[in-house]
Amino acid sequence: MKKIFLSEDEIPRKWYNIAADLPQPMRPPLGPDGNPVSPDMLAPVFPMNLIEQEVSTERWIDIPDEILQILYRWRPSPLVRAYALEEALGTPAKIYYKNESVSPAGSHKPNTAVAQAWYNKQFGIEKLTTETGAGQWGSALSFSCALVGLECKVYMVRISFDQKPFRKMMMETWGGNCVASPSNETNAGRAVLAKDANTPGSLGIAISEAIEAAVTDEKGKTRYALGSVLNHVCTHQTIIGLEAKKQLEKVGIKKPDIVIGCAGGGSNFAGISFPFILDKINGADIEIIPVEPASCPTMTKGKFLYDNGDIAQMTPLLPMHTLGNTFIPEPIHAGGLRYHGMAPLVSACVEQGLASPQALHQLECFAGAILFAKTEGIIPAPETSHAIASVIREANKAKEEGKEKTILFNFSGHGLMDLVGYEKYLNGELHDYDLPQSVIDENLKALEGLPKPEAY
Amino acid sequence: MLGHEISFSYCRTTHNDKLCKKIRDCWFDKIDIDGFLKEHYGQDQIQKITQPSGHKYVSLFSLIEQAKKAKEENQSEK
C-alpha cells in the first residue's frame, strides 16, 4: 500500500504532552534577577488557556471538536510508503513519511497555528500578532486567523519582506496584515529606523514589534503567537506522530525502528517523535534522530564548542582561513533550521538520552532532496531535506547490515517557495566546509570539566 | 529562518548594531570568526554571545517589560 489514510473519525482526539513522562522533570528557567520566570508572567502576550497548556503535566490534552473541524481540511495527513526512494537506494528498509506538505500553507505549522488562534478566540481575543522570517509561520497564522475569525498582524523581517514577496502575498490573500519590520508602527521599530533607515531588520526586532503591539493594545484584545519552541506548540504538533502510530498499525507495524525529523526550533521534530519517545520511555527499542545543519549546530558539537567556550582560552580554536581586514566572506543561506533557540522539551529529550541528534552538511541534504523529488515527486523544503538526508543514511546503513528496518520521518513541508537554494545547488554554487575530527576532538577535550548548559 | 542568503555584515548588526548570538555557530566553518571577533570587539561584547542561550520565557518576559516601560513613558509624555 502506497498511502495509508485515516478517516476523519479516526483522527486523534487528544494531544500528547511529553512533560508528563520525562524521566527528569523540567525546571523553571531563572530570570536575570535569579528568580524563576514562570509562564503566568507571560499573560500579557498569551491567553490563560494556552498558558495552562504550557505548564500542564497532564499526559493527554483534549483537542476541542471545533479545532478538529478546521484540521479536517487536510488532516489526517497521509502516511506514505516511499517505495520509489527505497528502490533507488536498493535498501531493505521500509521508509514511511508523514506528508505535512498537504496543509493549505504547505507545512506542519498550521497544526499549532489553528489551535493557538482558536484558544485566543475563546479567550475573547480579537487580534494576533507575530513575527516571521521566511514567512512560513506568518502565512500559517494568517490562514488560521482567517478560519477562526481573528485579525492577524505579521511583522516580517525587512530583508525577507523584500526578497520573498510570495509569502507576503499568501498572508495577504488570507487577510493577514503583513508589514516590513522595522516598521513605523511601534516604538521598537521607530527607534531602529531612527538609527538606520535602511536597516535590513532582524527576527529580534520583529519579535520586539510583535510583542509591543500585543502589550500596548489599549483594549487588551491583542495577543502574540509563537510558531515553535514553547511547550504548547510542541504538544499541538504531536497530532502528527499520533496519526502516524495509528497508520503504521494499519499495515501491521507495531513500532518503527527509527524516527527522524529536522529540528530548528524543534516543533516538527517534537510532533513526529514525542509519541514514539513515550514508547521508548516505556522500553521500546526506537532510535529517535533530530537532524540539524552542520553549518549552524545547536544540539551537536557546536553547542559544546561554542556556548561554553572562553575564546581567549581556546585559541587557536579552528584552522580556518586567515581573515584580513578587507575580507568579506560569501553570504550564507539562512534556512529555517538556523533558529536561535531549541524547544526546551526537545533539549530535555537529548540531554536525557531519549534522542540522538545528527548534524548534516547542506550538499548532502540537497542531494537527498533532489533524489526524493526525482523518486517520490515532491520537492522538499530545504529544512525537510535534512530529515531526508538522514533517512538515506539510515537506509544505506540498513542495506549494509542487511536489516529490514522501518524508518519513519516527517516530511514537514514542500519547497515550492524556497527554490533559490535549489538553483544554487544545481548551479554548483553551494559548498560544504568540514572540520577535521581531530580538531573537534581537541576542542571538546579542552571543554572537559566545564558545566554543561541546562538549556540549548 | 529567513529562507534566503544573508551577509556577514547582517550577522554583525542584526539588532541595533549588536552581534547576533549565533554568529560563531553560523560562521565558524567559513572564516576565522574568533580571530575577527577578538580583533574588532571588546571582551564584554564577546562574552555576551558566548553565554548559553537563555530560556524563551526569559526573553519574552524581558520584551514584555520593555514594551510596558515604553508604553508608560509614552503616556507620561502625553
A360 bridge partner residues: A293
Q: Tell me what the mean pLDDT of segment A390-405 comes to.
A: 98
> In this predicted model, which residue has the larger pLDDT, A203 or A369?
A369
Q: What was the pLDDT predicted at A340?
A: 60
Contacts of A420 in chain B (CB under 8 A): 4-5
Interface of B with A in 30-49 (CB under 8 A): 30-38, 43, 46
Q: Which residues of A touch B21 (CB under 8 A)?
A: 340
Instruction: Work out the minimum CA distance from A60 to partner chain B, whole angstroms.
Output: 23
- Indicate yes or no: CB of A320 within 8 angstroms of CB of B26: no
Q: pLDDT: is B8 or A78 the higher one?
A: A78
Poorest-pLDDT segment among A4-13, A345-354, A422-431: A422-431
Q: Which domains does chain A have, with CATH numbers?
A: 80-85+232-446 (3.40.50.1100), 110-226 (3.40.50.1100)
Q: Cβ of B76 under 8 Å from any chain A Cβ?
A: no
Handedness of CA A47, A217, A191, A330 (dihedral sign): positive
Smallest Cα–Cα separation from A351: which of A404, A295, A294, A298? A298
pLDDT in tens, A281-324: 999 999 999 999 887 777 775 443 433 333 333 322 222 222 33
* pLDDT, tens digit, 9 for 90 and up, residues B29-76: 777 788 888 888 888 888 877 776 678 888 899 999 999 998 888 788
Q: Which of A6-10, A346-350, A449-453, B74-78 is predicted least confidently?
A: A449-453
Rounded to two decimals, the pTM is 0.88
The pLDDT of A322-339, averaged and rounded, is 51
> Mean pLDDT over residues A173-202, rounded?
93
Cell of A198: 535602511
- Concatenated DSSP letters of B13-55: STBTTBPPTTHHHHHTTTS-HHHHHHHHS-HHHHHHHHSPPPP
Please say whether the beta carbons of A358 and A291 come within 8 A: yes
Helices A136-148 and A110-122: crossing angle in degrees, nearest 10, is: 40
Domain boundaries, chain B: 8-77
Residue A144 has pLDDT above 70, yes or no: yes
**What residues in A contact B6, CB-CB < 8 Å?**
159, 331-334
- Pick the more confident residue, A376 or A338: A376
| Nearest residue of chain B to residue A188 (CA atoms) | B67
Q: Which residue type occupies A347?
A: S
What pLDDT score does A294 carry?
Answer: 81
Contacts of B50 in chain A (CB under 8 A): 306-311
Average the pLDDT over each of A85-89, A378-382, B4-8 and give the range with the smallest value: B4-8
Contact A200 B10 (CB under 8 A): yes
Q: Which residues of B touch A206 (CB under 8 A)?
A: none
Instruction: Nearest chain B residue to A162 by CA: give it.
Output: B4
The pLDDT of residue A442 is 54
| Candidates A28, A294, A321; nearest CB to B31 | A321
Total residues found in chain B within this entry: 78
pLDDT tops 60 at residue A407 = yes
Q: What is the ipTM of this complex?
A: 0.81
When CB atoms are compared, the residue of B5, B22, B28 closest to A333 is B5
Beta strands A287-293; A358-360: pairing state: parallel
d(CA A132, CA A161): 9
Give the pLDDT mean for A270-280.
98
Distance, CA of A291 to CA of A390 (rounded, Å): 7
**Interatomic CA distance for residues A65 and A141, integer angstroms:** 19
Q: What is the pLDDT of residue A245?
A: 98
